[in-house]
């Protein structure tokens, strides 16, 4: 909940900036318009003084008037400049405070998951994410895609991509069936699947959590975040998925929103300023029966 006085401060600051800028601009324009007229008057008086010295006091009075006007204008400009700086400071402070109060502060990622602020995230996390193709036996699925992509060695990548897209990894049973039905050999499959990082040989969890390890996120604690997530999910060394296959935790390069570091991506949804505690609490929430 954002305090009303904070919003008012931001509005007052912004209004102050606008008014001061307008007044300073008006003062500058008026001075630019006035200057040639004053110069003309002074020039005329000087000519008259040269012809008749009786005009000297008038010239002096005109000089005094112009000097006084200049000093008045300078004083007013100084005051406006001070008010402008104060208004800008008020606006910046209020805006920063508003920003911090509006949910972009260090997460409580669980708030994004459970509260009104994050219905999209909640939807993403609560959906029955991946099914790992459990509804169709790999052998039957492979027969279908082989009919579509053919049996030649050139069909290896499209076949592997289809299997990966369907199961989110390459089940041994499916790969075996590919070798039985096509000209593709186990060695070719092993080479291709290990060469391209898009292919996985082990099952994925229902939810994919990617922790950004770009420079900004790295210095903001991405390593601790990853370690805490892995520890909380009891993911063993050398693996990236928990025993229940609920979560797969991986690393990713810069996600392009470094100002929100550290950033994680959960099932394609980017969430910034995540704390290890907040992320773990959120995962606990996802693991609860009501969300899964
Ligand atoms: S470094 Fe993480 S989003 Fe850029």
265 in contact with ligand 1, CB cutoff 6 A: no
**Domain assignment of residue 292, yes or no:** no
Based on the domain organization, do 43 and 175 belong to the same domain? Answer: no
The reported pLDDT for the residue numbered 269 is 84
Residue 111 CA to ligand 1 center (angstroms) comes to: 22
Q: What mean pLDDT is predicted for residues 207-213? A: 91
Show Cβ contacts of residue 186 under 8 Å, excluding neighbours closer than 6 positions.
175, 179
Residue 265 CA to ligand 1 center (angstroms) comes to: 11
212 in contact with ligand 1, CB cutoff 6 A: yes
Based on the domain organization, do 92 and 118 belong to the same domain? Answer: no
**Domain assignment of residue 66, yes or no:** yes
Closest CA to 240 of 228, 231, 230: 230
**Domain assignment of residue 31, yes or no:** yes
Q: What mean pLDDT is predicted for residues 21-45? A: 89
264 in contact with ligand 1, CB cutoff 6 A: no
User: Under a CB-based contact definition with an 8 Å cutoff, are residues 274 and 225 in contact?
Assistant: yes
**Domain assignment of residue 133, yes or no:** no
Based on the domain organization, do 180 and 276 belong to the same domain? Answer: no
Q: Is this prediction's pTM over 0.75?
A: no
Domains of the chain: total: 3
Residue 267 CA to ligand 1 center (angstroms) comes to: 17
Relative orientation angle of helices 4-51 and 56-101, to the nearest 10 degrees = 170
Based on the domain organization, do 259 and 120 belong to the same domain? Answer: yes
**Domain assignment of residue 250, yes or no:** yes
Closest CA to 275 of 127, 111, 125, 96: 111
189 in contact with ligand 1, CB cutoff 6 A: no
**Domain assignment of residue 200, yes or no:** no
Based on the domain organization, do 190 and 231 belong to the same domain? Answer: no
Based on the domain organization, do 29 and 173 belong to the same domain? Answer: no
CA distances from 189 to 133, 169, 200 (A): 20, 13, 12
Q: What is the pLDDT of residues 240-287, one digit of tens each?
A: 998 888 899 999 999 999 999 999 988 888 888 888 888 887 777 666
**Domain assignment of residue 224, yes or no:** yes
Based on the domain organization, do 150 and 174 belong to the same domain? Answer: yes
**Domain assignment of residue 246, yes or no:** yes
Domain that holds residue 191: 138-195
């Amino acid at each position: 909940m954002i305090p009303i006085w904070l919003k008012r401060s931001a509005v007052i600051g912004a209004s102050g900036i606008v008014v001061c800028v307008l007044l300073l601009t008006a003062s500058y324009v008026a001075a630019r318009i006035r200057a040639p007229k004053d110069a003309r008057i002074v020039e005329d008086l000087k000519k008259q003084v040269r012809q008749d010295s009786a005009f000297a006091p008038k010239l002096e009075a005109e000089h005094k008037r112009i000097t006084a006007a200049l000093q008045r204008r300078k004083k007013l400009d100084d005051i406006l400049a001070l008010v402008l700086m104060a208004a800008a400071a008020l606006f910046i402070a209020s805006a920063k405070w508003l920003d911090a109060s509006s949910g972009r502060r260090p997460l409580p990622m669980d708030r994004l998951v459970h509260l009104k602020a994050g219905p999209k995230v909640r939807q993403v996390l609560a959906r029955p994410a991946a099914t790992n193709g459990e509804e169709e036996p790999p052998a039957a699925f492979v027969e279908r895609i082989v009919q579509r992509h053919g049996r030649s060695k050139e069909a290896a990548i499209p076949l592997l991509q289809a299997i990966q897209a369907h199961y989110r990894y390459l089940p041994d049973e499916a790969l075996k069936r590919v070798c039985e039905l096509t000209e593709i050999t186990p060695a070719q499959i092993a080479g291709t699947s290990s060469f391209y990082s898009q292919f996985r040989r082990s099952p994925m969890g229902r939810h994919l959590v990617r922790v950004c390890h770009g420079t900004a996120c790295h210095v903001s604690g991405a390593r601790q975040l990853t370690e805490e997530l892995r520890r909380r999910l009891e993911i063993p060394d050398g693996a990236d998925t928990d025993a229940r296959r609920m979560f797969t935790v991986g690393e990713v390069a810069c996600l392009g929103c470094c100002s929100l570091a550290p950033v994680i991506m959960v099932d394609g949804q980017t969430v910034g300023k995540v704390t290890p505690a907040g992320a773990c609490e959120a995962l606990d929430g996802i693991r609860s029966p009501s969300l899964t």
